[in-house]
Amino acid sequence: MQLCLYDDTYGYYRSGRVRIGKDGDFYTSPGIGTAMADVLASFVLEAARPFGTAEVVEWGAGTARLTAQMMAEWSRREPGWAEWLRPVIVEDHPAHLAAARNNVASAASGFGTGCAAAFLTSGEAESRGSLLPAVIIANELLDALPVHRVIRRNGRLYELGVAVDAEGESDGRSPFCYVRMPLSDERIAASLDADGTVLREGQETEVHLPAGEWLERIARLVPEGVLLIADYGHEAEEYAAAHRMKGTLLCYSRHVVHDDPFLNPGEQDITAHLNFTALRRMA
């Protein structure tokens, strides 16, 4: 999943066309209206006001439609917002970053804010840190971070790794297949134990260790501030409920959803619902 999504040359979120919107593979809320931006704009104003001056960071911003829409709402509610709020766009996909610059520039010119937004890759954002208090928004970001997939077989917990299936490649199927292997990280079992999760025989699920690592990086970067995560998922009990035997991993391509991550590596989105219980504990 790390390679398919984030490889510097071939990764889905590092190369190719714009992935979001009608001509992409999926929509996010800012692509279908301004309701979410209107609500978040109000939240940001109240959350940032105690700091006096603050950055508003959209991390994994895509085309930054959310920030552009919030700018429009801030201009309606509080025309002097640009004197104390500074938008920061963090995005690693070159085509998305170019679209983000255009969207934010159009918003700034249309409402006369004189806003000076910053545009950074995640590496640049992490290397420079935050000079100001920050309100950080991660909208449908953590669901696209790599996950560990696990399965219970014969009473034991295994990790699902990926192997090459030579026979599959020869008859036209995907050359990849799942293979059971020992857990690659002791934190996988510890996370399930902390949530009280006991998988049923044959049940699969996902463990989001990289989401916790991202939270740790954010905590080191920001001296003080607020982090808002908007995403889809379940509490731990529902996440591993009896009717969810195959986990939550899904793939999106041209607005068609399926559950085979081995199709067209680097050309489709791979995502998993969040375990809110585990995420809250890690935070």
From the candidate CATH numbers 3.40.50.2020, 3.30.710.10, 3.30.70.1380, 3.40.50.150, the one assigned to the domain spanning 2-144: 3.40.50.150
Give the range with max mean pLDDT: 13-17, 61-65, 207-211: 207-211
Q: 89: closest CA among 110, 60, 116?
A: 60
pLDDT tens digits for range 100-119? 898 898 888 877 666 788 99
Q: Could you tell me which residues come within 8 angstroms of residue 2 by beta carbon, excluding any fewer than 6 positions away?
A: 146, 210
What element of type H or E holds 103? helix 94-111
Cα separation, 194 vs 176, whole angstroms: 32
Looking at 55-59, 114-118, 177-181, which range is the least confident one?
114-118
Q: Report pLDDT for 170.
A: 55
Higher pLDDT, 255 or 210: 210
Q: Is the pLDDT of residue 25 over 90?
A: no
Q: Is the pLDDT of residue 272 over 80?
A: yes
Residue 172: pLDDT band with limits 50, 70, 90: low
pLDDT tens digits for range 212-269? 999 999 998 888 999 999 999 999 999 999 999 999 999 998 888 898 999 888 889 9
The angle formed by the CA atoms of residues 40, 63 and 78, to the nearest 5 degrees, is 35
What element of type H or E holds 69? helix 65-77
The angle formed by the CA atoms of residues 275, 253 and 143, to the nearest 5 degrees, is 15
Higher pLDDT, 111 or 72: 72
Give the range with max mean pLDDT: 27-36, 196-205, 254-263: 196-205
Q: Report pLDDT for 16.
A: 72
Q: Residue 65's Cα: distance from chain center in Å?
A: 16
The mean pLDDT value for 111-140 works out to: 84
In the chain, the percentage of residues whose pLDDT exceeds 70 is: 92
On whether the CB atoms of residues 98 and 105 are closer than 8 A, the answer is no
Establish how many alpha carbons lie within 13 A of residue 120's alpha carbon, considering only the half-sphere containing its beta carbon. Answer: 18
Q: Report pLDDT for 103.
A: 87
Q: Report pLDDT for 253.
A: 84
Q: Report pLDDT for 132.
A: 83
The mean pLDDT value for 193-207 works out to: 96
Looking at 9-13, 52-56, 128-132, 206-210, which range is the least confident one?
128-132
Domain ranges of the chain: 2-144, 148-207+232-282
Q: Report pLDDT for 278.
A: 95
Q: Is the pLDDT of residue 130 over 70?
A: no
Structure tokens given for 230: 């908007």
In the chain, the percentage of residues whose pLDDT exceeds 90 is: 66
Higher pLDDT, 109 or 34: 34
pTM, full prediction: 0.88
Q: What letter would DSSP give residue 13? A: T
Cα separation, 223 vs 206, whole angstroms: 31
Cα separation, 269 vs 251, whole angstroms: 5
Q: Report pLDDT for 52.
A: 93
Q: Is the pLDDT of residue 196 over 90?
A: yes
